[in-house]
Amino acid sequence: MDQLQTLQQWHQGIRISHAAHFKAADTYEQRNLWLGVPVVVLSAVTGTAVFTASGTTAVAERVVVGLFSVAAAVLASLQTFLRYAELAQKHKAAAIKYGALRRELEEALATYSAEHPFPADFMHDIRQRWDALDEESPVVAKKIYDPVEAEYRKKAAKHA
């Protein structure tokens, strides 16, 4: 495989990582909302019910308020433990870095010709930067990565 073919293959891999990290960021942002909104609602309902409750509140009402309070606490604990907001931010930062590397490689590929080959250290530099980015980035879950990869491989096969 020659230098150009290798760089085209790398471009495909970087495109997939770029898209997969954005997909992961979106997924974790959605999960954070799915936990966060009920926490806010349950906390508000519980707080209001406790504030407005009088000493004559029925046992059933106190049980419901207690259950809402426990549910809010459990969801808030899950939100803290799972760190979806933090994961979303890390994946978004990784996606932005993969995007910059992808665009740099696209620019190089667009200007490549036999008369203007890549500089001798270009591949080495791209590989080192990609390796460093892979090392510092959070891992994209397989169930997120695989569909993104399949979509991009399908598009590549269509245009080949």
Query: What is the Cα–Cα distance from 16 to 60, expressed in whole angstroms?
Result: 54
Q: What is the pTM of this model?
A: 0.83
Phi first, then psi, for residue 140 (nearest 5°) are: -85, 130
**Number of domains making up the chain:** 1
pLDDT digits (tens, 9 = 90+) for 98-156: 999 999 999 999 988 888 888 879 999 999 999 999 999 999 999 999 999 999 989 88
Asked whether the beta carbons of 79 and 26 are under 8 A apart, the reply is no
| Residue numbers of the domain that contains 59 | 3-159
Q: Are 120 and 91 in contact (CB under 8 A)?
A: no
Each residue's pLDDT tens digit, 17-65: 999 999 999 999 999 999 999 888 888 887 777 666 656 567 777 788 7
| Residue length of the chain | 160
pLDDT greater than 60 at residue 92: yes
Q: For 61-87, how does the pLDDT look when each residue is reduced to its tens digit (9 = 90+)?
A: 778 878 888 888 888 888 889 999 999
| Residue at 11: amino acid letter | H
Question: Do 11 and 98 touch, CB atoms closer than 8 A?
Answer: no
Using alpha carbons only, what angle is made at residue 36 by residues 40 and 148, rounded to the nearest 5 degrees? 160
